[in-house]
């Protein structure tokens, strides 16, 4: 699952604006490991971040570079399937041969999968990050319900902090953001105590200002 190692906020935060317009490659038909039902994986060959919205939790909403799902739900048996792990049946260019897209996973699906993924830290980090972003999506669209942390949501991000190596600059920023959103401003500032490399300094300063203002909600970064 090397692809999971590349999903830190920094890896998407600095995507080049000069990249080509979004271009899709041939679809890949994969097979559910439980029931054998085939589903379609849409391949993105290239894209750009023009018009993208960047958030302090690391999520990037880029209309010309849509995120690819790594975990889906089989539309037939409802099994959760890791897309990169699912058997590849065929690469399909003819639209007449394409199969249906799989179902999306819910926030509860993500939390349930994370609970049984402790044997694979990369997968667990991915799942817990996706669950965190799913929670913050309620805030992003102005839903007041999203401003209240449930016990499960709080436990999820606290576990995510444990999974993030605090010796890495990008992880300290993520940990600081989680503490800030939880209202633990002392711990958030502690994560920002050590100097950051130049490429991280603007984001670190943004977080410091939000902490000083006692702001807890996820914010647009730029």
Q: Which residues of 42-76 are buried (b: 16+ CB within 10 A; e: fewer)?
A: eeeeebbbeebebbbbbbbbbebbeeeebbbbbeb
Query: Could you tell me the pTM of the whole model?
Result: 0.87
pLDDT, one tens digit per residue, over 17-49 is 444 577 888 999 999 999 999 999 988 887 888
> Do the beta carbons of residue 96 and residue 60 sit within 8 Å?
no
Give residue-wise pLDDT tens across range 58-102.
Answer: 999 988 888 889 999 999 999 999 999 999 999 998 877 778 899
Mean residue pLDDT of the chain comes to 89
What torsion do the CA atoms of 117, 120, 124, 126 make, to the nearest 10 degrees?
A: -130
State the burial class of residue 166 (Cβ atoms within 10 Å of its Cβ: 0-12, 13-18, 19+).
middle
How confident is the model at residue 51, as a pLDDT? 86
Residue with tokens 């692809």: 3
Output the DSSP codes for 139-155: HHTT-GGGGSPPHHHHH
Nearby residues of 198 by Cβ (< 8 Å), 6 or more positions away: none
107 falls in which pLDDT band (50, 70, 90)? very high
Number of H helices and E strands in the chain, helices first, is: 8, 9
Selected residue with higher pLDDT from 9 and 128: 128
Residue 203 DSSP label:
H
Q: What is the pLDDT of residues 161-214, one digit of tens each?
A: 999 999 999 999 999 999 999 999 999 999 999 999 999 999 999 999 999 999
Q: Where are the domains of the chain?
A: 2-97, 107-212
């Amino acid at each position: 699952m090397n692809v999971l190692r590349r999903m830190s906020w920094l890896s998407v935060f600095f995507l080049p604006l000069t990249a080509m317009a979004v271009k899709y490659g041939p679809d890949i038909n994969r097979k559910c490991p439980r029931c054998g039902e085939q589903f379609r994986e849409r391949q993105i060959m290239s894209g750009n971040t023009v018009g993208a919205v960047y958030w302090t939790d690391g999520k990037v909403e880029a209309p010309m570079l849509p995120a690819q799902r790594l975990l889906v739900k089989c539309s037939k048996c409802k099994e959760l399937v890791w897309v990169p792990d699912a058997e590849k049946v065929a690469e399909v260019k003819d639209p007449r041969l394409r199969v249906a897209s799989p179902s999306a996973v819910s926030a509860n699906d993500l939390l349930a999968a994370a609970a049984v993924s402790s044997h694979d830290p990369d997968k667990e980090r991915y799942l817990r990050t996706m669950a965190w972003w799913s929670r913050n999506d309620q805030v992003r669209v102005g839903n007041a319900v999203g401003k209240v942390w449930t016990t499960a949501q709080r436990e999820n991000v606290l576990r995510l902090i444990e999974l993030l190596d605090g010796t890495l600059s990008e992880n300290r920023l993520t940990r600081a953001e989680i503490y800030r959103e939880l209202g633990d401003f002392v711990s958030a500032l502690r994560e920002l105590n050590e100097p950051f490399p130049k490429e991280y300094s603007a984001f670190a300063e943004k977080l410091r200002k939000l902490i000083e203002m006692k702001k807890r909600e996820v914010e647009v970064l730029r």
